[in-house]
Structure formats: C-alpha cells, structure tokens
Amino acid sequence: MQETTVFTYRVSLPPREWAKASDTRYAAGDLWTRLVKIHRFCRRRHWPWPTESQLKTHFKRRVPLHSQTVQALIEKFCATIDGVRTKRRNGDKRARYPWRFRRYFNPIFKGQALKIQHQHLLLPLRRGREPIRVHVPKDMPTGMIVQAELGYGEIYLTITREIREPVPAASGKAGGLDIGVIHLGMVSDGTEALAISGRGVRSVKQGRAKAQAKLQKKRTRTKPGSRRRKRLNRARHRGSQKVERVTRNVLHHTANQIVAFCLAYGITILYAGDLGTLNHNKRHRRSRRTNQDVGALEFGRLEQYLAYKLHRHNIQLIKISEAYTSQTCPHCGHLNKVADRTYRCRACGYRAHRDGVGAVNILNKGMHGEIRPGEILVPQRITYRRPVPLRGTLRRSCG
C-alpha cells in the first residue's frame, strides 16, 4: 500500500530577490484586499456572492501576478469563506469572514507553475518579469513540490512523497528519551546511549538576551517615533529572527539524530518524559537563570518535530510521567537529590551521568510501569554529539 507523506521545507530568499518578492507580496496583498472588499460589499447588501469562477474571470490579467498565482489566491479566499460559512451554519457565530485589509500577502505558486533548473527553483511572476530564482539545497527532502508560498524573506515549500507503507516492525524494542537543557536529548536502549549537546543553542540564546538588554538600554534614551528608535527596533527584530532560525535548525537536527539512533539500534517504541509535568513541577524549583536558558516552548517544539519524524519510520512515541526519573537510583532505587552533572547514589555509591539516569529510568518506567531497580543501568559508553556544528561568527553576530 502506498502512503503520501507531506514535508514542509523553508528556503531563505537571497537579498537580490527581495525587491521582486516585496512587489509580488504587495500585489498579492492588494488582490486579497480587493477580494475582501467585494465579498463584504455583496454580503452587506444581501446580494449573491460572486462565485470562484466569476472572480477568476474578473481578475484575469488584471493583477500583476502570474495567472496561476491569482487563481490560487482566489481559491484560497473561496475556501476560507466556505469554511467560515459552514462554521456559522453549525452555530458558531463568532467565526468571521475574512475582513482584514492586507498590505502584504503570501502569494501561492502551484506545482505546475514551478520549475527546477540546475538546483534552482523558479517562481514565475507577472508577464514580462523575470521569475524569482532561489537555490535549493541538495539535502532537501526528495519528492514532488506541490506548492510554494512566498513569505517574508523565506519560501515555504510543500513537498509530497509516496512511500510504501513501512512494514510494522516486530522487534518491539524500546528506548528512553530524556529532554533537557545541557543535553537537548539523551536517548538510550539500555546498552547504547546518545547525548546531543544543548550548549550551542544555550549560548546563542544567552548572547541574544545580552544583546537585547543592550539595545533596550539604548532604546530608552531615544524618542518614540524617531529614526534612531526605529533603527534600534529593526536591529532587535533582526537579532531575534536570527536566533529563531538557528534554534529551529538545531531542533530539527537534534530530532533527526534521535530518529537515526532509533533506526540504527532497531528501537520501535520510544518513551519520553511528558513535558506537561515538567512545566508544573520542575519549573518552580529551577532558578531564574535556568528558566531563561531554553524555555519549555523549545522542548515542546523538539517533541513536535520528533513526533512526526518518528511517525515516518513507524516508531511509536509514548509519553510517560517523568516524576522521579531523574532522582531514582537505577541500581538500588534510592531517591537522591542531584546537584551537579554526575548522579551519585548515597545508598549504594552508584555513579553515572545525570541525563543518562533520566533516559534509562524513563525507559525502565515505560517498559514496566514503574522503575525497577537494577534492571536497566546507564550504558558505560555514551556518544556525545552536537546537533550541528555552530560557527563562531554566528554566535557573535547574534549578540
């Protein structure tokens, strides 16, 4: 049986295409606004609403966009209206028809209109204008590009791939995953372990916090609406966007490495600590500094990425409560307070890597419903990896 997987992929827009992209997004915003106005005009007068084909005929060759883009936007608009109408019919009177006038709107490029030429993706624009050309990376997911959406400085690609339904793995071998700050992920099957460092992201974040504080200080000395204030605002925005891109990349790579580990050791069930419990219980006990480090939000994102990436390989992700998993001694079951990076048991003298203890205890708890002492110990050998090598310059330019 065949199954279709959908990937979304971002490609950043090179500066030489910014002007073209901005014009196109502006034209799309104008089209959207006009659609909103037409629809509102008819609705208020209780006139019949223009149909999709009427709108398409009306706007044909009247908008400085590629004909297929115009059609795609009209289709999107009509789909939105239909959705709202259904909701309103079903009694949800708060559902609102599109009403916002948009200065910019993300134009949509359908698959048929897109071309790939020598590792470059071409987005066609209106007649007589050169298409937008972007280089697509080699490691992009293979498959068919069904749609491209032009965002602010970025292109969002939707790629589909037909995959044969993966054979349900019979091994049923389990692994445990501990998500944390120092190590974004520590995964183990009881004999092997992989730790993915979180220090890189943390330093980038700290750099940002510092830079933001500095900018904020400068900002207080400027007048509202002044050129200087605007410049500082832009700088702040730029900085945080960059951090966002770095973080996203790191989290994706971390998730990929965890999936690769599972595949390499035949893990088909992965237990992970439920982050819901972490927010309520652990956060209070943490210092302010730790809370700033990597927010709970980031853990949630890592988990999200993991969920769909694991699903592609038919690996189950099961969340369990991580209560006591970091404190219980895997050897004798004694509860210890952990102060530093090494776990030391006061009862039996067992020593191991702190995050390793978390991972094997989560595995133990997942398999048995409770932590059975002496069953699964932290592996002797732990592989340490960075999610992605971070360039030194990047760290500096973020703050």
Rounded Cα distance, 316 and 226, in Å: 54
Q: Which is nearer to Zn ion, 208 or 331 (CB)?
A: 331
User: 155, 270, 329, 367: which one contacts Zn ion (CB under 5 A)?
Assistant: 329
Q: Cα(222)–Cα(228) distance, rounded to whole angstroms?
A: 7
State which residue, 204 or 378, has the beta carbon closest to Zn ion.
378
The piece of 96-104, 238-246, 292-300, 330-338 that touches Zn ion (CB under 5 A) is 330-338
Q: Which part of the chain contacts Zn ion (CB under 5 A), choosing from 53-61, 109-117, 280-288, 328-336?
A: 328-336
Indicate which single residue of 148, 345, 377, 382 sits in contact with Zn ion (rule: CB under 5 A): 345
Judged by CB under 5 A, the residue of 332, 342, 374, 396 near Zn ion is 332
Nearest distance from C-beta of residue 374 to Zn ion, angstroms = 9
Decide: is 320 part of the binding site for Zn ion (CB under 5 A).
no
Residue 145 or 357 having the CB closest to Zn ion: 357
Q: Quick check: 334 binds Zn ion (CB under 5 A)?
A: yes
Asked whether position 186 contacts Zn ion by CB under 5 A, the answer is no
350 binds Zn ion (CB under 5 A): yes
- Lookup: tokens for 349: 């003298």
CB nearer Zn ion, residue 315 or residue 345: 345
Distance CA 377, CA 374 (A): 7
Q: Which is nearer to Zn ion, 268 or 328 (CB)?
A: 328
Q: Which is nearer to Zn ion, 216 or 342 (CB)?
A: 342
Q: What is the DSSP string of 150-205?
A: E-SSEEEEEEEEEEEPPPPPS--EEEEEEE-SSEEEEEE-SS-EEEEE-HHHHHHH
Report the residue number, 260 or 348, with the smaller CB distance to Zn ion. 348
Contact between 313 and Zn ion by CB under 5 A: the answer reads no
Residue closer to Zn ion, measured from CB, 124 or 330: 330
SS3 218: helix
Q: How far is the CB of 344 from Zn ion (least distance, A)?
A: 9
- Of the candidate spans 50-58, 200-208, 317-325, 326-334, the one that interacts with Zn ion by CB under 5 A turns out to be 326-334
**Backbone angles phi and psi of 66, in degrees to 5:** -65, 140
Side by side, which strands form the sheet with 120-123?
115-117, 120-123, 132-135
Give the N- to C-terminal CA distance of the chain in Å, as an integer.
51
CA distances from 90 to 39, 40, 77, 85 (A): 21, 21, 20, 9
Compute CA distances 57 → 52, 162, 167, 338, 398, whole Å. Answer: 9, 35, 48, 69, 49
Quick one: DSSP state of residue 46? T
Q: Which is nearer to Zn ion, 320 or 377 (CB)?
A: 377
In the complex, what is the shortest distance from the CB of residue 190 to Zn ion, in angstroms, rounded to a whole number?
Answer: 17
The answer to whether 382 and 196 are in contact (CB under 8 A) is: no
Total of residues contacting Zn ion (CB under 5 A)? 8
The first and second tokens of residue 118, run together, are: 């020598």
> Among 101, 324, 347, 368, which residue sits at the site for Zn ion (rule: CB under 5 A)?
347
Give residues 353-382 in contact with Zn ion (rule: CB under 5 A): none
Q: Tell me how far apart the alpha carbons of residues 161 and 3 are, in angstroms, rounded to a whole number.
A: 8
Could you say which of 348, 351, 384, 396 contacts Zn ion (CB under 5 A)? 348
Stretch that binds Zn ion, among 145-153, 198-206, 287-295, 341-349 (CB under 5 A): 341-349
How buried is 358 (Cβ within 10 angstroms: 0-12 exposed, 13-18 middle, 19+ buried)?
Answer: buried
Residues 354 and 180: their CA atoms lie apart, in Å, by 11
* Residue 58 to residues 42, 52, 245, Cα–Cα distance (Å): 15, 10, 40
Stretch that binds Zn ion, among 59-67, 276-284, 348-356, 376-384 (CB under 5 A): 348-356
C-beta closer to Zn ion: residue 345 or 378: 345
**In contact, 370 and 357? CB cutoff 8 Å:** no
Minimum CB–partner distance for residue 330 and Zn ion (Å): 8
CB of 357 to Zn ion, least distance (A): 10
Q: Which residues lie near Zn ion (CB under 5 A)?
A: 329, 331-332, 334, 345, 347-348, 350
